[in-house]
Amino acid sequence: HNLLFILGFNAFGGFSIFLPKLINAIASDTTGLQAKLRSEVKEKCGTSALTFESVKSLELVQSVVCETLRLNPPVPLQFARARKDFQLSSYDSVYDIKKGELLCGYQPLVMRDSKVFDDAESFKAERFMGDKGSELLSYLYWSNGPQTGTPNDMNKQCAGKDYVTLVACLT
């Protein structure tokens, strides 16, 4: 019970920031996104109740959630201390990081990297669909790890990241 309380308590703050952004992204779209989402849900789920398992087959729904997270990460700043000496590489530089140094990442900037995401400032509902979209998931970062990663005690990645996306898909 305590573990569920902690996961829910921590997720509430981020989700209460993220959910209005998701609803706004869908509601303000002028390309027929709502109809496409409705059609996908009807086609893949029929009259059955939505479940965590059935949501996994909804590629457009999941892509819309991921695209909203990309443009509006609910936790924009990430902090950590280096556990060992290492070199951090960017496109044009290499930085020497020493053990114990404080690091800070600003996700909104990273998620708009035009070298990774085509038309990075625009909302593209289908961005994370298909093979190319699946590859982009490794660049969609949650607190200290990619969407394709698995949270564990060594990477400080959001323990509820998979549940957040599934719950967002259900809304």
Q: Which single residue is written with the structure tokens 């892509």?
A: 63
Distances (CA, A) of 13 to 54, 130, 135, 167: 26, 31, 29, 14
Instruction: Say if residue 158 carries a ligand binding annotation.
Output: yes
Among 70, 45, 44, 50, smallest CA distance to 124 is for 70
Torsional class of 35: left (φ above 0), alpha (ψ -120 to 50), beta (otherwise)? alpha
Among 136, 157, 134, 133, smallest CA distance to 145 is for 157
Both structure tokens of 68: 């909203």
Residues of each annotated binding site for heme? 158
Residues of each annotated binding site? 158
